[in-house]
Structure 1
């Protein structure tokens, strides 16, 4: 399936020359993408001092801002094991027997809160310049408070492919991955597990990727993947190769687990649960909401 937005096109994957050991990191926005990229970088290089900025080591292949041929050439030139970023669901990416696909999930309400704050940190004028478009006015009457935006996000009824960061889009992406969870080439990672047991999750991912790490290296690698350490290195780690973020450190704003639930009344949260149950299976929701 092809997925397109004003700044993404999954068709850029067509003809991509995979090679043995490739890692594809497939996430929704603000669901742990950069965290997963950093973990993969640490497992591949086994050193906190990376040889290049993270966005160069792990480019966002679908992003229209960067010429496709340049991205392919950069990846082709990499001598190390490659790990590639995408926000495309797995059904929009070529499946290759040589690759492993890592899907990171986050509680949708917490993701929506982070998405709200991320929107305020984007330089939309710079994005329009890079894409050759114009910056349109905000829709009349569009909600601006975080609470009102979250309610509107819960209620928005849209085709998943038309708005992948909507609630229907999130559930579409994760439902597709959930159906593949028993595939040895697909690894599901939960954001909450990264928060509660970062070292354990890094070891689990290393095992699934077939990466051997000397025991004495683990403490320094886990420390480098801690959120505070990543924020301190925002200039190297923020996904901002062309200057679209107003503040790179602010990209690493850490929303606590349950931050979305805290904004909702019991009635509003019950409405969210009803909407979620209409869009995803019970077993996926039990895993996602824990």
Structure 2
């Protein structure tokens, strides 16, 4: 078995995946931050329990395995105690997760510019002091510099040249995560790619496709309620049960669900700046992946 890539930051350590005892039927949800992680966790929960009323808060049922705020042993024990079909959250690319033929790996792709806009707003909603305390980082003696505008931040994000392993939330990091998953899904039937825009355009159809991939049969009369529970409005109304709130890092739980829309990145940039992004994207990812990632819903076969 090839060795796993390792990704570490102030609050994640992907080596926690090494030796994880998988079960037949496990689901691993592997996404970049702000690319539909909680949405896919909710869809999996609805398909598994076949009811809008979940037995526990979503983060408790589907823990973020490599986040170091909770001790590794505690997370492992929680998952070992589960008797339902398990669905586990990770922001680690699949080259850092053990590949087991008994497991289905679901990777959600979102247009990187839309992902970046959501990241920008998410950073505003993080409690910096609380984050430093939980990650044991020293408080800074100087006041933070004023934050750049969304436009200026987005341009810097496009241009930033950094190894993907140093910052998975960078454009190189996002493109590596998706490129690795794209190449795996072409040869591994247990790797499923889902496009964020397809969820927006045809939530019911995509939920049925995901159910088929997970070999889950849902009685026809249950579908309307399950699909409604996975809509943006329904999820936002239940933010206290669905949002990952480990350590109290969020200033406002409801702000976690901001717009849930596509095209927000394109709204901010000029045509010249969009071309600049396009050139950068083509330096980082294969053309077939980019056609899928940048397409409109339904343009290309899945």
TM-score by length of 2: 0.94
Residue among 80, 83, 86 paired with 1:76: 80
| Shift in Å, 1:35 | 0.1
Q: CA contact under 8 A between 1:124 and 1:135: conserved in structure 2? A: no
Residue among 113, 120, 126 paired with 1:122: 126
Residue among 36, 39, 46 paired with 1:42: 46
Say if 1:3 and 1:129 are closer, same or farther in 2 by CA, change over 3 A: same
- Corresponding residue of 1:249: 254
Q: Which residues in structure 2 correspond to 1:181-192 (within 5 Å)?
A: 181-182=185-186, 183-192=188-197
1:98 aligns with 2:102: yes
Say if 1:145 and 1:18 are closer, same or farther in 2 by CA, change over 3 A: same
Q: CA contact under 8 A between 2:207 and 2:227: conserved in structure 1? A: yes
Residue among 195, 216, 222 paired with 1:217: 222
Q: Which residues in structure 2 correspond to 1:23-62 (within 5 Å)?
A: 23-62=27-66
Residue among 253, 267, 271 paired with 1:266: 271
Find the aligned partners of 1:4 and 1:22 in 2 and give their Cα distance.
Answer: 24
Q: CA contact under 8 A between 1:38 and 1:225: conserved in structure 2? A: yes
- List alignment gaps of at least 5 residues for structure 1: none
Find the aligned partners of 2:100 and 2:254 in 1 and give their Cα distance.
Answer: 35
Count of aligned residue pairs for this structure pair: 290
> Runs of 4+ in structure 1 displaced over 4 angstroms?
137-143
| Shift in Å, 1:141 | 6.2
| Shift in Å, 1:137 | 6.9
1:288 aligns with 2:259: no
- List alignment gaps of at least 5 residues for structure 2: 296-302
Q: 1:199-227: CA deviations, max 9, x gaps?
A: 00000000000001000000000000000
